[in-house]
Structure 1
Amino acid sequence: MTIEHLLVSTRHRYEGRPADGPLPAPEGEPEERETIELRAGLGAVGDRYFGHRAHRDAAVTVFDAASLDHVTAETGIRDLDPAATRRTITIRGFPIDSLVGRLFALDSGAGPVRFRGHRAANPCAWMDVTLAPGAFRALRGRGGVRCVPTDDGTLSLGPALLDDDPTPPADV
C-alpha cells in the first residue's frame, strides 16, 4: 500500500455555488504536503478542521486513489488531481471505503497512527467542477471515510502499511 497524497488546508475553499469556482489557496501556504502531523482526537495539525467540535468525528478524510481510476473509467478524463478531492490522506492499495465504522491504523515508517472511521465521505457537486464533469456521480460510494486519529503521530508520502484490525486504544 502507498500514501500517494497528503493535504492540509487552513481554509475551506469550496464555499458557495460550484459554478462560481473554488476560493484560491491562501498565498504562501502550501496545501500539499510530504508529511503531516496528526493529534489524537483533533485531526491534522494546521488543517481547517483541526480541533473543531463540529468535525470531532470527521477531522481527517482518507480516500482511495483507485476511486480516481474509477472516475477516469466513467468519464474518460485522465490525470485527475487528488488535491481536487480535498481529502486529507489519499492511499492506494486498500479499499478504504470498507472501513466506515471501524478502527484502522496507517504506518508510513514513523509508527502506526490509529483512526476511528466514523462515516462515509460522500462526494459533493463540487467534484463535477474541480475534478471532472461526471465525477460527482462516479464517486458515489467511493468518497472515502471521515475519521479521527486516536493517536498522535506522523504520516509521510510513500510506502505504508494499513492494519484493518489494530489493538484498540486504551480509552476506547
Structure 2
Amino acid sequence: MFELFDQADLDDQNQVVIALAVFFHDIVYDAKRNDNELMSIEVFKQFAADISLEQQLLDRVGLFIAATIAHAVPAQARSHHLTLFLDFDLAILGMPPETYDEYAQQIRQEYIHFPDDAYASGRAAVLSKFSGRDTLFFHKSMQERFEAQARENVVREIRALTKGSSDPAM
C-alpha cells in the first residue's frame, strides 16, 4: 500500500490522512476476531490523543479505516482520497498470479483455525462479493492497472476453493 501511496499525487493534508490510515488500518489483526478494524481505530485514537492530533484528522482517519470493513463508501462520505485508499488496499488482488497465489496461501495460513470446507466457503463468499461488483477499483487509473488481473486472480481462486482446494494455483 505504501508503494502505491508513494506514487500518488497527494496534497500534504491528504498525504497525512492516507499515510495514517495505511499504517493503522490493520494494526490490530487477529484472524479469530471480527472487530479488527474497530480495534485498529481505537489504537489510532489512543495514538492521536497521545500526540494531540486535531479531531478533524482523527475523524477522517477513523472513517478511512472503518471503510475497509465492507470496502464500501457511504454516499455522504465519498471522497477521492477515501476511494483511493480503498483501491490501495485491494491492489493485492491485481498482482501477478505468483504474487497473488502467495498472498492467498498466506490468507489461508492466517485462517488455519478453520476447517478447509468452512474456510473455502467463507473465502469464496468474500471473493464473490468483490467479483460481483461492476468494478473492483474506484479509480480509472487503478482499474486500468489492476482490474483485469484482479478479476482473473479472484475467479481462479474461487474456482480452486469451490473445487475443494484452498490453493489458487490448482
Give me the TM-score of the superposition, normalised by structure 2.
0.31
Give me the TM-score of the superposition, normalised by structure 1.
0.31
Structure with the greater alpha carbon radius of gyration = 2
Structure richer in strand, relative to its length: 1
Higher relative contact order (CA 8 A, sep 6+): 1
Structure richer in helix, relative to its length: 2
